[in-house]
Amino acid sequence: MIRSFGTTRDGAPVRAVPLGPADGLQAEVLTYGGILRQLSVPGPKGRRNLVLGLPDVAAYENDPAYLGCLVGRYGNRIANARYTYQGRTVELVPNEGVNQLHGGPGAYGRKVWRLQDFQGGADSRLVLGLTSPDGENGFPGTLEVTAEITISGGDLTLRFTAIGDADTPVSLTWHPYFNLAGDPQVAADRQMLRLRSQHFLPVGPGLIPTGALEPVAGTAFDFRRPRLATPRHNHPQIFQAGGYDHCFVLDREDTWDEAADWAATLSSPDSGVSLRLHTDQPSVQFYGGQGLASQYPDLGTGVCLEPQAFPDAPNQPSFPDTMLKAGDRYSRMMRFSLSW
């Protein structure tokens, strides 16, 4: 049953929407930020929650870690909060030093989304909508965004669509912190990670990509076989980011098959729970959650796997184009397949 989750500081009501059956995979999604507040599976001692969450709206309004929220208009970083398009420099609003992170201040993860459709039960479906106005944080054009979130069996799926009335860069993603042990006090880097990636994007100051694609083979960034997510401090990029906070370029065949292709796997030897990520995005940002200890000393630990476009692509001509043309339709998906 949909329930009240309180109100924002501006007085807007927030609702918590349950998805999934009583005996299977369940989620709770907030209309504030599209936040995945809970994701749980049955266990021998009751349900295990697999993502980090906060207790109330006020905590999410003050959250510096983007816990569980939908991210846009552009996920990750844009250098110097600006880009040049068709000879014109577009000035964005910075919110991480001189750079813009995750769409800027008060972006999609800080908005109350419209609840456009809901169906409960074993095959649950929630559709959230958001109007991102022209000029918001500097981005041109009004963008209409929908996020369709479903649970069916062991699959949690998010499908984004968007359409705008001006050319604008778009990269939408989701930002849950996973700890599949079901206990956030168990170190998240005890999880086993595998990434279908032969290259990652090295970063420079401000964690802005340098523009290079670096092979993972034989480095601390080689997750082509499952291994612990613990950072290996034998690579200068680990020191640059304080751990893992890097974009991994996904290996793709000529045609993408939603049913067969996978981007990453994550599993917990403590609980036996595992996750397989499928996405049509070109890359996955792996964040080891190293900032949580200072942001939330008592919350616990988690890692992020964020399917997205390449960070700073509007400033990197060699990266895949992220410009959504006026009137064109943006469509991207991610699916987290859980087993336990």
Report the mean per-residue pLDDT for the chain. 96
Q: Which residues of 225-263 are buried (b: 16+ CB within 10 A; e: fewer)?
A: eeeebbbeeeeebbeebebbbbbbbbeeeeeeeeeebeb
What helix, strand, coil percent values describe the chain, rounded to 5? Answer: 10, 40, 50
The pLDDT assigned to 234 comes to: 81
Residue 159 marked in a binding site: no
Asked if residue 252 has pLDDT above 80, the reply is no
Q: How confident is the model at residue 254 (pLDDT cuts 50, 70, 90)?
A: low
Residue 175 marked in a binding site: yes
- The answer to whether 275 and 180 are in contact (CB under 8 A) is yes
DSSP classification of residue 295: H
Residue 105 marked in a binding site: no
User: For the segment 199-223, what is each residue's pLDDT rounded down to a tens digit?
Assistant: 999 999 999 999 999 999 999 999 9
Q: Examine the residue annotation and report whether 175 is marked as an active-site residue of this protein.
A: yes
Q: From residue 73, how far is each of 96, 106, 164 by CA, in Å?
A: 16, 11, 11
Asked if residue 277 has pLDDT above 80, the reply is yes
Report the greatest alpha carbon distance in the chain. Answer: 61
Asked if residue 255 has pLDDT above 80, the reply is no
User: How would CATH label the architecture of 3-339?
Assistant: Distorted Sandwich (2.70)
Give the pLDDT mean for 171-193: 97
Q: How confident is the model at residue 253 (pLDDT cuts 50, 70, 90)?
A: low
Q: Examine the residue annotation and report whether 28 is marked as an active-site residue of this protein.
A: no
Q: From residue 92, how far is each of 57, 74, 181 by CA, in Å?
A: 27, 11, 39
- Residues 102, 136, 175, 246: which is the catalytic one? 175
Q: From residue 46, how far is each of 26, 42, 147 by CA, in Å?
A: 13, 6, 30
Residue 76 marked in a binding site: yes
Q: Which tokens in the block code for residue 141?
A: 């054009």
